């Protein structure tokens, strides 16, 4: 690994001194004006930095936290996706830096991309599970397309014919033979979904997208989870690996999936990516605090050789072999350590790699020429990290994992769940359980689906020891506890619908009449007891399971202990025929819909 030297610009007289943590995320470079606009995702601001001097020149205050930024081709408008339930796109006039329009979109708008002619803006609404198409001449949403699940990243092919959307998590039931995230491909002319490309089994946490310069291929980074085997060892990628999938845009098919990891060292939690004009792919490795440089020309040549039987690696003879090879990418990649912690986004401009890191107060600019020296562009000041902030960093830090294959985020993105079943040793083997959200875990003991851990504190420490396979100082575990304790529920995307459709609270009354409230009670909607509700199967037949909180239940599909239920309707109709899991068998169709809407609104 090549270590880099750094020069820190001295910022004198900066007018931007925020009181909150900055958490730099998406950024965009105006090459004509030589400035960078960076979203400070927990400071309700966009900061403007002169990339020649390294000085912060201005900040743009927002009403909500920004999620993503995009610059119009002529540099006159900065688009900002912001907020959660009241998601909006802010159009900021440049150089005045004033908001000239605000367009309501879906819940938690994330990535954005402009159509090839600049007339339309595509927006991925994460928790609405939609993509909004905005006609910019009217500043109005003209289409809202349903997609698969939690769309986050979006990109467009150079010819504008294809808009690609990264669906963050799998949508299948966890007991299926194929459980994997998908990429939605939208026709750039008709604004309609053209196809959905399923990635290899175990693909999840799909973060970054980029198109090749010739428009032939789409690149997507994600985790490739080996959830089908017990998590007893991490060596050589037996649990989580980190991957790059390539989609052939000529026929909308999966072309190949290759691993970013080394044989004895993971490349945990790949995030933002970009293709440079040097035909290299730049990848932010959030868990290992690195940038990876991947030679695309070499990769495609290696793939051609593999598919034609000319590969020197005897273990790679078919396409599926590539997703298990920890050596295929070795000749084509380089890893660069960063000063920043948890890099999230990356861009390439004028032979310089720019990187934003969530737990840093600067952007890193790394020259791709000479000795690859690095310059830090300061974004402002922030408080000294407290225990919660340190815990958040530790939760996503693969350096507390043996060989850096994964972090806690790998199975618990945002502290929630990955939608997969994992076979852990705490209750025997051969009976995998669905990943639980950690929201409210510290105040609703016991923990784990079977309640085998008497407290979340014990679960955290055992998770580090038995899942990450390391021993860490007690102070780190305490910090992680404090981070998890402060997790707050995101407002349900169904709340407003519930208020409109059920003003008389019929769903709430049915919740009580059906007996749901007998177990799902109190502030956290759980009595913290275990019950056999008749859903156990195989080794788990007759087993009592911990009563989960129903907070954010809209977000945590699939349902039941093994994730066999796609929807809450399945929970009640398919898997509660004997009314052991609430008295729902005799409910009418309308009553059942009212009950489910109430639960999803919690």
Digit-coded pLDDT (tens) for 209-243: 999 999 999 999 999 999 988 888 889 999 999 99
pLDDT of residue 421: 96
Question: What tokens appear for 350 in the block?
Answer: 């004028």
As beta bridge partners, residue 101 has: 91
Question: What tokens appear for 97 in the block?
Answer: 């830096």
pLDDT of residue 370: 65
Q: Give the separation between CA 208 and CA 107, rounded to whole angstroms.
A: 20
Structural domains of the chain, with CATH: 389-485 (1.10.760.10), 495-601 (1.10.760.10)
pLDDT of residue 318: 78
- C-beta of residue 19 within 8 angstroms of C-beta of residue 35: no
- Average pLDDT over the chain reads 94
| pLDDT tens-digit series, residues 384-439 | 999 999 999 999 999 999 999 999 999 999 999 999 999 988 887 888 999 999 99
pLDDT of residue 428: 78
User: Could you say which residues of the chain have pLDDT below 70?
Assistant: 1-18, 370-372
Sign of CA dihedral 510, 515, 521, 526: negative
Angle at CA of residue 593, ends 588 and 596, nearest 5°? 125
| This prediction's pTM | 0.95
First to last CA, the chain: 48
pLDDT of residue 371: 65
As beta bridge partners, residue 587 has: none
- C-beta of residue 69 within 8 angstroms of C-beta of residue 95: no
């Amino acid at each position: 690994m090549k270590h880099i030297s750094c020069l820190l610009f001295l910022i004198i007289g900066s007018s931007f001194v925020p009181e909150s943590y900055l958490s730099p995320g998406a950024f965009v470079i105006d090459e004509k004006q030589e400035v960078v606009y960076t979203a400070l995702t927990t400071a309700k601001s966009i900061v403007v930095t002169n990339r020649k001097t390294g000085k912060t020149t201005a900040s743009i205050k927002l009403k909500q936290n920004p999620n993503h930024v995009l610059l119009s081709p002529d540099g006159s408008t900065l688009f900002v996706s912001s907020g959660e339930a009241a998601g909006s796109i802010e159009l900021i006039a440049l150089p005045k830096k004033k908001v000239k329009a605000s367009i309501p979109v879906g819940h938690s708008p994330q990535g954005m991309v402009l159509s090839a002619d600049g007339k339309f803006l595509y927006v991925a609404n994460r928790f609405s599970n939609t993509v909004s198409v905005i006609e910019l001449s009217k500043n109005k949403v003209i289409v809202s397309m349903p997609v698969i699940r939690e769309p986050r990243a979006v990109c467009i092919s150079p010819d504008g014919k294809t808009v690609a959307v990264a669906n963050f998590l799998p949508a299948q039931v966890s007991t299926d033979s194929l459980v994997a995230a998908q990429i939605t491909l939208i026709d750039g002319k008709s604004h309609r979904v053209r196809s959905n490309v399923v990635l290899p089994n175990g693909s999840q946490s799909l973060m970054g997208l980029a198109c090749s310069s010739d428009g032939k291929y789409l690149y997507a980074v994600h985790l490739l989870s080996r959830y089908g085997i017990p998590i007893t060892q991490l060596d050589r990628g037996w649990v989580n690996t980190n991957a790059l999938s390539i989609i052939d845009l000529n026929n909308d098919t999966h072309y190949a999936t290759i691993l970013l990891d080394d044989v004895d060292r993971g490349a945990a939690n790949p995030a933002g990516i970009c293709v440079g004009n040097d035909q290299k792919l730049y990848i932010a490795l959030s868990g290992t605090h690195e940038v990876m440089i991947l030679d695309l020309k070499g990769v495609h040549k290696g793939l051609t050789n593999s598919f034609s039987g000319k590969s020197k690696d005897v273990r790679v003879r078919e396409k599926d072999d590539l997703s298990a090879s920890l050596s295929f990418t070795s000749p084509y990649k380089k890893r660069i350590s960063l000063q920043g912690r948890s890099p999230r986004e990356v861009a390439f401009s004028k032979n310089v790699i720019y990187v934003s890191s969530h737990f840093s107060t600067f952007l890193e600019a790394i020259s791709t020429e000479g000795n690859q020296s690095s310059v830090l562009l300061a974004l402002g000041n922030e408080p000294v990290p407290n225990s919660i902030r340190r815990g958040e960093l530790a939760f996503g830090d693969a350096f507390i994992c043996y060989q850096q294959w994964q972090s806690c985020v790998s199975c618990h993105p945002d502290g929630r769940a990955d939608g997969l079943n994992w076979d852990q040793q705490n209750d025997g083997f051969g009976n995998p359980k669905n990943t639980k959200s950690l929201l409210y875990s510290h105040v609703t003991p016991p923990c784990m689906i079977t309640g085998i851990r008497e407290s979340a504190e014990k679960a955290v420490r055992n998770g580090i020891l038995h899942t990450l396979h390391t021993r860490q100082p007690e102070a780190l575990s305490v910090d992680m506890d404090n981070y998890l304790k402060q997790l707050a529920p995101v407002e349900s995307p169904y709340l407003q619908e519930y208020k409109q459709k059920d003003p008389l609270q019929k769903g709430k009354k049915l919740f009580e009449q059906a007996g749901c409230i007998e177990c799902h009670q109190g502030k956290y909607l759980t009595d913290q007891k275990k019950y056999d509700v008749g859903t156990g199967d195989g080794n788990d037949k007759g087993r009592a399971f911990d009563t989960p909180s129903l907070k954010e239940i809209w977000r945590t599909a699939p349902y039941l202990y093994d994730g066999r239920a796609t929807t809450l309707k399945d929970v009640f109709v398919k898997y509660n025929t004997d009314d052991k899991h609430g008295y729902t068998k005799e409910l009418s169709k309308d009553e059942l819909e009212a009950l489910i809407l109430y639960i999803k609104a919690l």
